[in-house]
Amino acid sequence: MVAMNAIISASELASGLAGGTPPVLLDVRWQLSLAQAPFDGRAEYAAGHIPGAVYVDLDSELAAAPDERGRHPLPDLDVFGAAMRRAGVSTGTPVVVYDGGLGWAAARAWWLLRWTGHPDVRVLDGGLPTWEGELQTSAPTPAAGDFEPVPGAMGLLDADGAAALARSGVLFDARAGERYRGEVEPIDRVGGHIPGAVSAPTNENVGTDGRLLPAEQLAERFKSLGAGGGSDVGVYCGSGVSAAHEVLALAVAGIPAALYVGSWSEWSSDPKRPIAVGPDPQ
């Protein structure tokens, strides 16, 4: 994994789009909504997107339907591969992914593409709000790509692997601190965290401008939390989306990390699995 190749600035993207080998652009606007009217990423895309970008739906193309594996389990690779080829993704062409600015959905797409073997994928740092160029409302029809996903290029954890890593290495919990401590749980069956996991909210990896903190600052943060000393590192969140953003931040800091995709939504669904509460890893 190339640390500083994980993100791209809006100015760098603009230069790349004007160059001889423009990247494939994926618009992955999505957000978790607990309201009656769910967020409609496709409508947001239709209202205006970076020229040439193709919309990719997180819930149906970057994840399978919720089941015992969690709220956003890994997608069927045939479904994911078909979505990527439809968007024009080929193995030999760079890909840039963006979302509405939070970075979580874009990071999920980045992680899936990297995990399945694409060598050149970057996230637009700060997302669409950083783009100063024109927007397009018509959807492009790119030539079909040739990308065939082959899993295994990034670290992946299951529940047992996450539990073991919390004992032998460093397992970060990327959710908000109050959910880690078990004070609130707005989505899943019960609050708390995997015993031994360290609280490391991913929203603390970004500055006030919505962009990731500088690599040196990220490395210092993760070092202070126990990573970066040669130990294996893993990350989980609620359903494997915001944790992908923390894996991205770790990559920028030069620290490879595995993703527990099932995350808390899978872990907490089984009453036999242990749960820790409070501020300490335990």
User: pLDDT digits over 155-165, tens only?
Assistant: 999 999 999 99
Active site residue 237: yes
Class of the CATH domain delimited by 3-130: alpha beta
**For residue range 123-166, what is the model confidence (pLDDT) as tens digits?**
999 999 999 999 999 999 999 999 999 999 999 999 999 999 99
pLDDT tens for 217-235 read: 999 999 999 998 889 999 9
Q: List, for residues 3-43, the tens digit of each pLDDT value.
A: 448 999 999 999 999 998 999 999 999 988 665 668 899 99
Give all strands (DSSP E) within the chain, no chain letters.
7-8, 24-27, 54-55, 95-98, 121-124, 156-157, 170-173, 198-199, 233-236, 258-260
Q: Where in the chain is the domain with CATH 3.40.250.10?
A: 3-130, 156-267
**Beta partners for residue 200, in sequence order:** none
Give me the pLDDT at residue 229, please: 83
Q: Which CATH number fits domain 156-267: 3.40.250.10, 1.10.10.60, 3.40.50.2020, 3.40.50.970?
A: 3.40.250.10
- Helix H or strand E segment including 247: helix 242-252
The answer to whether 57 and 41 have CB atoms below 8 angstroms apart is: yes
Active-site residue identified among 237, 251, 253, 261: 237
| Cα distances (Å, whole numbers) of residue 107 to 121, 243, 251 | 10, 9, 11
